[in-house]
Amino acid sequence: MSDVNKLRWRCRRGTLELDLLLVRYLDAAYLAAEPSEQQAFVQLLALEDTDLMRYLMGEQLPDDESLAKLVCAIRALPAEG
């Protein structure tokens, strides 16, 4: 299984909203991202769903600057459709 496919599997969370946001970033921006941003995405996927929900729904930003920057980038991606 390729690394991207492993990440795609890790993007599957407990809620449709998280799934959509994480997979959208993976498909639209991950491969073109700097290695530091790719590492931040891997770190983001290690967080609990409750934290991810707060961050990606705009309730809060992570304290870690690289994670906060990534969360903002994910939230700024245009919705498909």
- Burial environment of residue 46 by CB neighbours within 10 A (0 to 12, 13 to 18, 19 or more): exposed
Examine the pLDDT at 79 and tell me if it is beyond 90.
no
Residue 81 covered by a domain:
no
On average, the pLDDT of the chain sits at 94
For 22-49, how does the pLDDT look when each residue is reduced to its tens digit (9 = 90+)? 999 999 999 999 999 999 999 999 999 9
Domain that residue 57 falls in: 3-76
Q: Which amino acid appears at position 66 of this protein?
A: S
Does 70 map to a domain?
A: yes
Say if residue 66 is exposed, middle or buried (CB neighbours under 10 Å; 0-12, 13-18, 19+). middle
Q: Decide if pLDDT at 8 tops 60.
A: yes
Banded pLDDT at 2 (limits 50, 70, 90): confident
Domain count, the chain: 1
Whether 45 maps to a domain, the answer reads yes
